[in-house]
A and B are shown apart, each in its own frame.
Chain A
Amino acid sequence: NAGVTQTPKFQVLKTGQSMTLQCAQDMNHEYMSWYRQDPGMGLRLIHYSVGAGITDQGEVPNGYNVSRSTTEDFPLRLLSAAPSQTSVYFCASSYSMSRGPTGSPLHFGNGTRLTVT
């Protein structure tokens, strides 16, 4: 079972460069999301999607774009990388709230460690 797959595992960018972090899940989950994890800050929500064609902003969306053209894929784009975007990025997915009123646990990918110099 692949679960949630993130690529690449590591990336180094120069300031101003653009790139896309890939995320794919094979569990037919409606809900997908991106988090960044910084020391002492926990996990902060960047963007999320409740289904194909629907995306919304989380807590820290500036500098990031997302799209959801299929149920399986949810790429995160950095348009012009900045050193403040150095972080570990996690993609996570779950069944949607329509499956039940109390939420369902997120399944996480293994993360992408991004360094912007």
Chain B
Amino acid sequence: EDKVVQSPLSLVVHEGDTVTLNCSYEVTNFRSLLWYKQEKKAPTFLFMLTSSGIEKKSGRLSSILDKKELFSILNITATQTGDSAVYLCAGVAGRGAQKLVFGQGTRLTINP
């Protein structure tokens, strides 16, 4: 059975701190791993990772994939209150049809 597990489930930090969110996966015919940010409504796309060891970066956010150890991390540096959200990772599984398997999400709260 395909499975994606995120940790921690919840994290509270102060503004300016750096955080690391974890995502481990067991996905059949793995194709890629996606990170999303969910505030009040729809998840919004952050990163797609397909190759091991290549860091994707967008401003203060960065992410990397380890296909040997089957995990990914999402780093946020110099956190701001606007980074407060649920962060979801998902593994893309299968051949032919795209099937995403989501983790439970990490709820990140940034206190001023």
Q: Which residues of A contact B (CB under 8 A)?
A: 4, 31, 33, 35, 40-45, 48, 50, 56, 58-59, 90, 94, 96-97, 101-111
Given contacts A103-B31, A103-B92, contact A108 B43 (CB under 8 A): yes
Known: A45-B99, A50-B97. 12 other contacts (CB 8 A): A4-B42, A31-B97, A42-B4, A45-B100, A48-B98, A50-B98, A96-B97, A102-B32, A103-B92, A103-B98, A104-B48, A108-B43
Ordered by A's residue number, 16 sampled pairs between the chains whose C-beta atoms are within 8 Å are: A35-B102, A42-B4, A43-B43, A45-B99, A48-B97, A56-B97, A58-B99, A90-B43, A102-B50, A102-B92, A103-B32, A103-B34, A104-B48, A105-B34, A105-B48, A108-B42
Residues of chain A with a CB closer than 8 A to B32's CB: 102-103
Residues of chain B with a CB closer than 8 A to A102's CB: 31-32, 48, 50, 92
In the complex, the answer to whether B98 meets A96 with C-beta atoms within 8 Å is yes
A97 is contacted by which of B4, B41, B98, B103 (Cβ under 8 Å)? B98
Residues of chain A with a CB closer than 8 A to B90's CB: 43
A48 is contacted by which of B45, B92, B99, B101 (Cβ under 8 Å)? B99
B31 is contacted by which of A56, A101, A106 (Cβ under 8 Å)? A101
Question: Nearest 7 CB-CB pairs, A to B?
Answer: A108-B42, A103-B92, A43-B102, A105-B45, A42-B102, A42-B104, A102-B50
**Count the A-B residue pairs with Cβ separation under 8 angstroms: how many?**
73
In the complex, the answer to whether B98 meets A94 with C-beta atoms within 8 Å is yes
